A and B are shown apart, each in its own frame.
Chain A
Amino acid sequence: MAERYSSFQSGSLSWFLQRITAAFLVVVLAFHFFLLHFVNHASEVTFAGTTARMEQWGYMLTMVLFLLTATFHGVNGVYAALLNQGLTGGKKTAVKGLLAIAGLALAGQGTYLALVMAGVM
């Protein structure tokens, strides 16, 4: 039997959510790179062009969902990796709180930014 390595305990809720978000992110991250480097070139990005994309509700909602799932997937992945390195006790609680605050701040700022780009705020 081949060896299987993972930072997650198979079957746990965080493992499940990490896989669900991964399946979504695989598609949307590839789409994001393709759209902003091959269809539109990053060096030609302007506020007007960004707004034109973000004014389309389907695109804006996809980007917000992209932000939220990427934030969860990233922060949850970092937490799992740190636990895997042996983080326990008070340090574990502190890191969990810090990552939760950082993740919420990122999600909040990113959502606000999306609304500004869409011309809503």
Chain B
Amino acid sequence: MSQSYNRGLIEDFGRWKEFTAGMWAWILHKFTGWVLIGYLFTHIAVLSTATTGATAYTDTIQGLESLLVVRVMEVGLLAVAVFHILNGVRLLFVDLGLGLEQQDKSFYASLVVTGVIVLASVPTFLEGAF
């Protein structure tokens, strides 16, 4: 498993105004990671209604999908997943030493592309919710 190492005061969240793009990317990657693993546990729990029967499964999913709040949260989940994917690809390149000097620009690009994909997906995610 991983080892911790000291990077000094940069992790003091009280100094957030001094954070660089790379620091924000790291914080957002952590935050979206926590949301995704939390969702994975919830997702398997909800889908597990399939083990009690076909009707329970279909009714649970369609019942949840009929709620506007669930649809809106799914858009939030999409935003979290898309950012984590794009920033994850960025991290893979950074770890390979590719584009290290442009890592701040690639973080901004991850944010912009996430915004575009999420906005373009809103109609599909909210279809039939009203």
User: Interface of A with B (CB < 8 Å)?
Assistant: 1-10, 12, 14-15, 19, 22-23, 25-26, 29-30, 33, 37-38, 41-48, 50, 67, 70-71, 74-81, 83-88, 96, 102, 106, 109-110, 112-113, 116-117
Tell me which of A3, A47, A113 contacts B48 (CB under 8 A): A113
A4:B40 contact, CB within 8 angstroms? no
Interface contact B92-A23, CB-CB below 8 Å: yes
| Closest-CB distance, B119 to chain A (whole angstroms) | 15
Docked pose: A88 CA to B2 CA in angstroms: 12
Other-chain residue from A33, A46, A78 in contact with B58 (beta carbon distance below 8 A)? A46
The interface size bin for chain B is: 35 or more
Per DSSP, chain A at the interface is helix
Q: A2-B104, A46-B58, A74-B37 are in contact. Are A7 and B30 (CB under 8 A)?
A: yes
Question: What is the interface of chain B, defined by CB distance below 8 A to chain A?
Answer: 1-5, 7, 11, 20, 22-23, 25-26, 30, 33-34, 36-37, 40-41, 44, 47-48, 50-51, 54-55, 57-58, 61-62, 65-66, 74, 78, 81, 85, 88-89, 91-92, 94-95, 100-101, 103-104, 121, 124-125, 127-129
Q: Per a CB cutoff under 8 Å, which of A14, A30, A48, A112 touches B1?
A: A14
Contact A78 B37 (CB under 8 A): yes
- A42 and B127 within 8 A (CB): no
Indicate whether A12 sits within 8 Å of B2 (C-beta atoms), given known contacts A30-B85, A43-B65, A109-B48. Answer: yes
**What is the distance, in angstroms, from B76's C-beta to the closest C-beta of chain A?**
13
